[in-house]
């Protein structure tokens, strides 16, 4: 007797979704509902999120879809709507909104850092008490886009000039969605042109607790990892490392903190991850994300021998026991090696082919390097942390050895080393 494959709709798919799911095509039938107006990591001005939700709803009814899979912030909103509309397993809309909207998310925290908001079209923000240095970011946080370290009112105004130019082109689609699906009387700032301004946290290590929630809200941990940044004011990411190198009692404190903050956001029936600061012996929340860190699929696979995408499939299809068995978290067991995802950063601007050595990268046939740019792309700076050109994963017996290997590789990858944070000085 032939077993019927579950029909799974992948909403607003990324290329890594196809890579992460391709080995499961013998057990699932995937439906890729792509949208021309959706441009990673944002949406073009003519992309209509509300119409896309309606398109997905019609598709679900016509194709007997049993599950919805999503892997990034914008897709989490779509999946939440579809779950509520079609009765499929998925998160609720309010929880995904709270995770996405970083101002309202701060209000759900246990002991939040200092934060406020500024309307970037008016001068009213100049009347507010802003503690410098500080950090600003869009309320709808995507890939550190238009995030800046701010040291004075003049640097704030300079950053806001860029914000006024760049943000409105993709805010509109969110506003239409929020008016349709979010209670804007309860959350009036959902449709306000604003930036979050908050304390600049220094002298703290950064970490990530990733996990998932069952439909009834029971929370499980997937993995605990470390986020490592370069020294200095730019706040540029160096690499992510798993498993975490923090002592077991500290990891347990971070897990307790993460579970509490996810519960406060009301996340159910989906993956989540919490970014944390650890300073002076206590946890503070960096941000909460209502989706998996799917960019770490290769990292998790190499270290734990577990597939994040397979776990996401199990959860979306209601196979909770299988999802639990796929979860790798342990303080000491089930680790095949240690691993890091290393980023290639530039502070320069220009043609990507003049900054990155594509010929050398193509010669590295045994190393999977994920490029963020093509040779003819123009690299520009839209955040304090620099532009990420590529990333790759390395695995080994210890942390120090893979860091040395990564430094050697990155030195070969860039043509303009003076623009690279790990080579400066």
Pick from 158, 176, 199: which residue ends a domain?
Answer: 199
- Residue 90, classed as helix, strand or coil, is coil
pLDDT tens digits, 52-107: 999 999 999 999 999 999 999 999 999 999 999 999 999 999 999 999 999 999 99
Q: Is 130 in the same domain as 185?
A: yes
Tokens of 149: 């370290």
| Assigned domain for 380 exists | yes
| Assigned domain for 295 exists | no
What are all long-range contacts of 249-256, with beta carbons under 8 Å and residues at least 24 apart? Answer: 250/278, 251/224, 251/331, 253/282, 253/283, 254/207, 254/209, 254/224, 254/278, 254/283, 255/209, 255/221, 255/224
pLDDT tens digits, 333-385: 567 799 999 999 999 999 999 999 999 999 999 998 999 999 999 998 877 78
pLDDT tens digits, 173-218: 899 999 999 999 999 999 999 999 999 998 899 999 999 999 999 9
CATH code of the domain covering residue 354: 3.90.1170
The percentage of the chain sitting over the pLDDT mark of 90, rounded to a whole number, equals 77
| Assigned domain for 232 exists | no
Cβ neighbors of 229 (< 8 A, separation 6 or more) are 206, 235, 236, 237, 238
Signed CA dihedral, 45, 46, 47, 52: sign only: positive
For residue 41, cis peptide bond before it (omega within 30 degrees of 0): yes
Q: What domain count does the chain have?
A: 3
Q: Is 137 in the same domain as 187?
A: yes
CATH code of the domain covering residue 121: 3.30.1490.20
Query: pLDDT at position 262, please?
Result: 98
Q: Is 125 in the same domain as 90?
A: no
- Residue whose tokens read 């929630």: 213
| Assigned domain for 306 exists | no
In the chain, the N- to C-terminal Cα span, in Å, equals 67
**Residues spanned by the domain of 406:** 337-425
Query: pLDDT at position 39, please?
Result: 63
Give the residue, 420 or 37, on which the prediction is more confident: 420
DSSP letter string over 3-59? PPPPEEEEES--HHHHHHHGGGTTT-EEEEE--TTEETTEE-TT--HHHHHHHHHHH
| Assigned domain for 248 exists | no
The rounded distance, in Å, linking the Cα atoms of 26 and 380 is: 42
Query: Which of these, 246, 228, 244, 248, lies nearest to 236 by C-alpha position?
Result: 228
| Assigned domain for 245 exists | no
pLDDT tier at 44, thresholds 50, 70, 90? low
Count Cα atoms within 13 angstroms, Cβ side, for 321.
0
State the average pLDDT over residues 218-240: 89
Look over the chain and give the mean of its residue pLDDT values, rounded to a whole number. Answer: 91
| Assigned domain for 265 exists | no
pLDDT tier at 422, thresholds 50, 70, 90? low
Q: Is the pTM of this model over 0.85?
A: yes
Question: Which strands, in side-by-side order, build the sheet including 134-138?
Answer: 115-119, 194-199, 134-138, 148-150
């Amino acid at each position: 007797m032939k077993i019927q494959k579950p029909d799974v709709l992948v909403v607003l798919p990324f290329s890594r979704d196809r890579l992460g799911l391709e080995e499961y095509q013998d057990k699932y039938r995937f439906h890729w509902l792509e949208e021309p107006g959706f441009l990673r990591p944002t949406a073009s001005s003519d992309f209509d999120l509300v119409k896309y939700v309606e398109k997905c709803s019609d598709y679900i009814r016509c194709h007997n879809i049993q599950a919805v899979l999503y892997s990034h912030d914008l897709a989490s909103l779509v999946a939440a709507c579809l779950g509520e509309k079609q009765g499929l397993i998925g998160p609720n809309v309010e929880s995904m909104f709270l995770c996405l909207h970083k101002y309202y998310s701060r209000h759900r925290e246990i002991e939040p850092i200092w934060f406020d908001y500024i309307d970037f079209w008016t001068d009213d923000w100049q009347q507010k008490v802003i503690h410098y240095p500080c950090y600003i970011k869009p309320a709808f946080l995507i890939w550190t886009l238009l995030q800046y370290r701010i040291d004075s009112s003049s640097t704030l105004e300079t950053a806001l000039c860029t914000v006024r130019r760049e943000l409105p082109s993709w805010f509109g689609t969110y506003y239409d969605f929020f008016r349709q699906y979010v209670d804007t009387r309860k959350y009036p700032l959902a449709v306000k042109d604003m930036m979050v301004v908050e304390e600049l946290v220094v002298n703290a290590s950064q970490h990530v607790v990733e996990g998932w929630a069952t439909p009834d809200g029971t929370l499980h941990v997937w993995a605990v990892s470390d986020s490592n940044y370069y020294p200095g004011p730019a706040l540029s990411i160096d690499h992510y490392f798993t498993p975490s190198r923090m002592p077991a009692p500290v990891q347990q404190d971070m897990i307790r903190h993460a579970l509490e903050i996810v519960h406060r956001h009301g996340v159910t029936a989906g993956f989540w991850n919490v970014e944390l600061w650890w300073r002076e012996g206590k946890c503070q929340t960096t941000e909460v994300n209502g989706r998996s860190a799917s960019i770490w699929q290769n990292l998790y696979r190499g270290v734990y021998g577990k597939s994040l995408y397979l776990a996401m499939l199990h959860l979306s299809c209601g196979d909770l026991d299988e999802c639990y068995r796929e979860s790798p978290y342990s303080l000491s067991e089930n680790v095949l090696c240690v691993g890091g995802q290393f980023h290639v950063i530039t502070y320069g601007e220009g043609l990507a082919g003049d900054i990155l050595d594509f010929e050398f990268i193509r010669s590295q046939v045994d190393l999977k390097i994920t490029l963020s740019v093509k040779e003819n792309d123009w690299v520009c700076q839209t955040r304090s942390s620099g532009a990420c050109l590529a990333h790759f994963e390395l695995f080994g017996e210890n942390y120090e050895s893979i860091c040395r290997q990564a430094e050697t590789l990155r030195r070969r990858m860039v043509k303009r080393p003076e623009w690279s944070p790990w080579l400066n000085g």
